[in-house]
Chain A
Amino acid sequence: MTGKPLAAIVSAGLSRFGKLDGLSAREIFQQAGKEAFDRCPNLDPRKDIKALFVGHMMESTEHQGHTGPMVADWLGLNPIPASRTENACASSGVALRCGIQAVASGLADTVIVGGVEKQTHLPTSDTTEYLALSADNFFEQWHGFTFPALFALIARAHMHEYGTREEHLAMIAVKNHSNGSKNPKAHIQKEITVEQAMTSRIVASPLKLFDCSLISDGASCVILTRPELAKKFADNPVYVLGSGQASDTIGLYEREDLTSLKASILASREAYKMAGIEPKDVDVAEVHDCFTIAELVAYEDLGFCAKGDGGRLIESGETKLTGSIPVNTSGGLKSKGHPVGATGVAQAYEVYLQLTGQADHRQVKDPEIGLTHNVGGHGSTSVVHVYKTSK
């Protein structure tokens, strides 16, 4: 490892994920904020935190925009600068990167970054429409494409090209539900079988109910500081060694290759290079399984296996909790849930728990290097971070 850390995570918080009836986005964000503050007694939020970045995708669901100052206000953090990032489902992965940039540039010593989404109070057909906003309006939304369908197009192409089977996708759902059953904050905490997944109803062929992530409410946050200041706030900070982000076409149809997300390949290579590591060095990873096929493609794009071998990797069991590269120990978007704006930082929360040995029943044995991979839309944004323990 060559990389000098960009920033350190000294605390983290996560709301319960799921259908949080009666709570609005700002109140859900307070749950995440409180956990992060409680976890870090040496931090005086009002004195130490100098900026806030929050990921949030769909203001239409609550008819509430201006998320930055709103959540800062509710956390008692006025008058610090507070900004919202919007990159669809990668909104808070990008917020994290903005926070890292602020800390690494010296603009702010300590910042809070997070994400939030409130979407379960609406009928699925409304949420489906809002989620589709991150695809090309004039050429995808207008013709009735949905997010499950856009990833179904990727799945169909991958099956055709590499012989990937529906069972492979079901195995990913089974693994993530098994991990989620060990996560008390997960939206759905129950195990499922391959058969259950295979026989669930079709949402957008070949993707079925159990290939889809959940429509959830939730919020997440982490507190970042300059590496030199980390020990002031925490005995076992987690260091961010690498950060990569890339963009791709707003329409899926303009891509030469429909079986990988180029933005993920580019973002991960940038993050690996910055961190001075290789894919094989990763001990635990949270990847963007908005659909099971997205996790399978991520195995390949992130270099956990060769192109086309994603099906074989899930079959091998190596991405389970006990495998050589455990993926989505939290349960992932599939089982923990996918409050879209909160997801990127929720991944960082899980990696923080894993690298500090606080992941309880889903703890991986002595991980040193962690990775998060957060995708916006069908890969028009991808953002990857690499983390290391203080050891």
Chain B
Amino acid sequence: MEEIIFERDEKGDILPTIQNFYKFCGQGRLMAVKCTKCNKLLAPPRMLCPSCYSSDLRWIQLSGRGQLRTYSMINIAPKRFASQVPYTVGIVKLQEGISLPGRIMLDKPGDAQIGMDVIVDFEPAQMDGWPQLPRYFFRSVNKTSG
């Protein structure tokens, strides 16, 4: 596997950037940043806290578990996704209280439900274009194993 190189600041800390967020996905980790001054949790990460304007933000790993807030099954897609229809997208409220959008992989297409438990998973970069990065997605939690 290709080595993942993060962008870092002069102290060597991994910068709270979107590209680094996706590089963590390449390591199988869903990450957020936490503002050291006001404790705000942010995913996507930001380099400047929108609440207190501090730029001291530290990475923390998220549980990757949450519940589906809303969803839709797409039949007409942009060109680069057209071969994948139908596929489901949704917004997931994570246990930590913040929400992320993403693809929802279901056992049976069409069996999504608001409130259902989902867990994050990862896949390697697949699309053309800039930048080439891995992706996260969510799948339904199997009741017996979950």
Which residues of A are in contact with B by a Cβ distance under 8 Å?
Answer: 123-126, 128-129, 132, 136, 138-146, 148-149, 152-154, 156-157, 160, 201-207, 251-254, 258
Contact = CB atoms under 8 A, between A and B. Distances in A.
Contacts of A157: 69-70, 114
A251 B114 contact: no
Of A124, A143, A207, most B-chain CB atoms within 10 Å: A143
A216 to B, nearest CB: 17
A143 B101 contact: yes
A202 B86 CA distance: 10
Contact of B75 (A126, A153, A201, A252): A201
Given A153-B70, A153-B90, A156-B71, A144 B100 contact: no
Given A126-B79, A143-B102, A143-B137, A138 B18 contact: yes
A146 B79 CA distance: 11
B82 A125 contact: yes
11 contacts: A125-B79, A128-B79, A129-B79, A132-B78, A142-B127, A143-B102, A148-B76, A149-B74, A153-B89, A153-B91, A160-B114
B76 A144 contact: no
Interface size class of B (residues with CB under 8 A): 20 to 34
Given A124-B76, A144-B81, A160 B137 contact: no
The 4 closest A-B pairs by CB, nearest first: A152-B72, A129-B78, A253-B101, A144-B81
A253 B99 contact: yes
A332 B139 CA distance: 38
Given A156-B114, A157-B70, 4 more contacts: A128-B79, A143-B103, A144-B77, A201-B75
B80 interface: yes
B87 A140 contact: no
B99 A203 contact: no
A46 B91 CA distance: 52
Contacts of B73: 202, 204-205
Interface of B: 18, 22, 44, 69-82, 84, 87, 89-91, 99-103, 114, 127, 135, 137
A258 B91 contact: yes
A126 B77 CA distance: 9
A130 B69 CA distance: 26
A124 B79 CA distance: 9
Nearest to A138: B18
Given A157-B70, A202-B75, A253 B103 contact: no
Of B79, B87, B137, most A-chain CB atoms within 10 Å: B79
A389 B70 CA distance: 43
A188 B122 CA distance: 44
Contacts of B22: 138
A160 B90 CA distance: 14
B100 to A, nearest CB: 6
Given A124-B76, A129-B79, A144 B91 contact: no
A136 B99 CA distance: 14
A142 B135 contact: yes
A306 to B, nearest CB: 22
Nearest to B136: A143
Contact of A144 (B44, B84, B99, B114): B84
A160 B74 contact: no
Contacts of B70: 153-154, 156-157, 160, 258
B110 to A, nearest CB: 8
A354 to B, nearest CB: 34
Contacts of B101: 136, 139-140, 143, 145, 251-253
Contacts of A141: 78
Given A149-B89, A156-B114, A258-B91, A144 B78 contact: yes
Given A138-B18, A139-B100, A144-B103, A252 B91 contact: yes
Contacts of A128: 76-79
B74 A144 contact: yes
Contacts of A132: 78
A161 B79 CA distance: 33
B72 to A, nearest CB: 4
A156 B70 CA distance: 6
A150 to B, nearest CB: 8
A253 to B, nearest CB: 4
Contacts of A201: 75
A377 to B, nearest CB: 14
